[in-house]
């Protein structure tokens, strides 16, 4: 998997959902090991690369990038996963041979056995040097002395957090049901429909998952449905909706919503449809670009809009560590422009007196409060609804920011905006 991320630029989510991965015949234990290896490799890629560079007499050629990746996988097994040294070295050599590069066996043995001999360690409390330089610079620009802590939290393994359909089952009863199945969980400290598991498990092991009583969703993401005002029977749009976690929560939380769910990706919408079927709920599924409503909007304005816009995903790096390899600094300006176009376009679809909730899974200020400051300047009929009474996150100049790891949540930003009522 790591080779596919580095050499093909594919995300781990995409790989895990691929026919190739589903066709693998390895045991569940081996598949879990491979996932841990791939995620850990991405999480510590830059630290491992620096360590390896110091161990090579000269850089490897571009055509031998696969050997560089294989060496780093071996280092991660030794230094973080604590795999038996003999097994780690042998498996790493075997992986190189499978690439048709038997010549690399001596190099791999020399590097890995040298690391073992010298007692080298990987500082898993480190932050600097574990991100690409441009990303680290943005953390430092936006968060100053707090940047180190934000980055350190981005290196932690995330919890597995569940959302409970509290209209159908009491959360204490669900915790007890999980315990009876040997799964330990506790109420989240800030989000009253969330259970945080002590240890992750396969979703197939979760009692009530197939019936829609439970869904996997970080507590910070669960706040969206709690913040968007929706009266019974309201006409609501969830823009950029796939894979559907927030849409599902809206339907479970509010009575008889007239919900449209929109996304530009048909494959992602198919996953959304599957999720809606699992919870036994329905919505109109629309394929289209949120920034170009003329191609999908039926002319009937919305009472409420959830604008969960594309972003850098800098707040979910602990959950998606491959982002630090796949995202480029050159991606940021186009993302900012896309966000601006989406929210300006969606605003025209909102009824007077209606509400729009803007959110990102980012901790970069220009995607969050600075983006919304500009929106408020462009739209005289918009006012911010304060989230100052919230018990989570911290106030920004506009809206509210959750930093990665705060109350063990992902990094998220929310701003609630209201359109002036017609005179």
Q: Distance (Å, rounded) from C-alpha 128 to C-alpha 64?
A: 27
One fold for both 2-117 and 219-419?
no
Position 380 scores a pLDDT of 95
Once rounded to an integer, what is the mean pLDDT over residues 394-403? 97
Tens of pLDDT along 94-140?
Answer: 999 999 999 999 999 999 999 999 999 888 888 989 999 999 999 99
Provide CATH code, domain 2-117: 1.10.940.10
Judge whether 311 counts as a catalytic residue.
Answer: no
Residues 6+ apart with CB under 8 A from 337: none
Angle subtended at Cα 313 by Cα 344 and Cα 122, rounded to the nearest 5 degrees:
165
Once rounded to an integer, what is the mean pLDDT over residues 38-62? 93
Lowest-confidence pick of 57-66, 185-194, 319-328: 57-66
Q: How confident is the model at residue 32 (pLDDT cuts 50, 70, 90)?
A: confident
Mean pLDDT for all residues in the chain? 94
Q: How confident is the model at residue 6 (pLDDT cuts 50, 70, 90)?
A: confident
Residues 6+ apart with CB under 8 A from 200: 159, 160
Once rounded to an integer, what is the mean pLDDT over residues 313-324? 96
CATH superfamily of 219-419: Vaccinia Virus protein VP39 (3.40.50.150)
Residues 6+ apart with CB under 8 A from 228: 236, 250, 304, 306, 355, 357, 416
Count of Cβ atoms closer than 10 Å to residue 359 Cβ: 25
- For residue 58, is it left (φ>0), alpha (ψ between -120 and 50) or beta? beta
Active-site residue, selected from the candidate residues 42, 240, 359, 361: 361
Q: Distance (Å, rounded) from C-alpha 228 to C-alpha 354?
A: 10
From residue 186, alpha-carbon distances to 35, 190, 240, 371 in Å are 26, 12, 31, 36
Q: Distance (Å, rounded) from C-alpha 247 to C-alpha 57?
A: 54
From residue 206, alpha-carbon distances to 146, 173, 175, 397 in Å are 37, 14, 11, 40
Contact 343, 358 (CB under 8 A): yes
**Percent with pLDDT over 70 in the chain:** 99
Lowest-confidence pick of 2-16, 55-69, 404-418: 2-16
Query: Class assignment of domain 161-216?
Result: alpha beta
Of 265 and 316, the one with more pLDDT: 316
Contact 255, 277 (CB under 8 A): no
Position 423 scores a pLDDT of 53
Question: For residue 164, is pLDDT > 80?
Answer: yes
Tens of pLDDT along 350-391?
Answer: 999 999 999 999 999 999 999 999 999 999 999 999 998 899
Tens of pLDDT along 185-223?
Answer: 999 999 999 999 999 999 989 999 999 999 999 999 999
Q: Distance (Å, rounded) from C-alpha 350 to C-alpha 184?
A: 43
Residue ranges covered by each domain of the chain: 2-117, 161-216, 219-419
Position 221 scores a pLDDT of 98
């Amino acid at each position: 998997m790591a080779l596919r991320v580095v050499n093909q630029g594919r995300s781990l989510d995409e790989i895990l959902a691929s026919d190739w991965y589903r066709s693998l015949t390895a045991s569940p234990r081996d598949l879990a090991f491979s996932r841990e290896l791939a995620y850990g490799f991405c999480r510590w890629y830059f630290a491992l690369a620096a360590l390896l560079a110091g161990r090579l007499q000269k850089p490897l050629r571009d055509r031998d990038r696969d050997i560089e990746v294989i060496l780093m996988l071996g280092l991660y097994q030794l230094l973080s996963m604590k795999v038996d040294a003999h097994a780690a070295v042998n498996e790493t050599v075997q992986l190189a041979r499978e690439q048709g590069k038997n010549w690399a066996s001596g190099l791999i043995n020399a590097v890995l056995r040298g690391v073992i001999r010298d007692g080298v360690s990987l500082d898993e409390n480190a932050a600097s040097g574990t991100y690409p330089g441009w990303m680290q610079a943005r953390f430092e620009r936006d968060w100053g002395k707090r940047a180190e802590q934000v980055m350190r939290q981005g290196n932690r393994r995330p919890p597995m957090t569940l959302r409970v359909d509290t209209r159908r089952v009491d959360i204490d009863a669900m915790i007890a049901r999980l315990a009876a199945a040997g799964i330990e969980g506790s109420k989240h400290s800030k989000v009253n429909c969330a259970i945080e598991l002590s240890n992750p498990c396969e979703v197939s092991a979760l009692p009530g998952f197939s019936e829609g009583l439970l869904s996997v969703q970080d507590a910070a993401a669960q706040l969206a449905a709690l913040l968007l005002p929706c009266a019974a029977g309201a006409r609501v749009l969830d823009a950029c909706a796939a894979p559907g976690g927030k849409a599902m929560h809206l339907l479970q939380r509010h009575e008889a919503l007239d919900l449209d769910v929109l996304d530009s990706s048909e494959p992602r919408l198919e996953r959304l449809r599957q999720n809606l079927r699992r919870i036994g709920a329905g919505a109109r599924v629309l394929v289209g670009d949120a920034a170009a409503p003329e191609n999908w909007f039926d002319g009937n304005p919305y009472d409420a809009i959830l604008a969960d816009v594309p972003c850098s995903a800098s707040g979910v790096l602990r959950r998606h560590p491959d982002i630090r390899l796949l995202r480029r600094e050159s991606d940021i300006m186009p993302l900012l422009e896309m966000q601006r176009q989406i929210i300006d376009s969606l605003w025209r679809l909102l009824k007077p007196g209606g509400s729009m909730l803007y959110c990102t899974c980012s901790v970069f200020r220009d995607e969050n409060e600075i983006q919304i400051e500009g929106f408020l300047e462009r739209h005289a009929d918009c006012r911010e609804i304060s989230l100052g009474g919230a018990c989570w996150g911290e106030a920004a100049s506009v809206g509210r920011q959750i930093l990665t790891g705060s109350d063990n949540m992902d990094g998220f930003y929310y701003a609630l905006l209201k359109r002036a009522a017609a005179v």
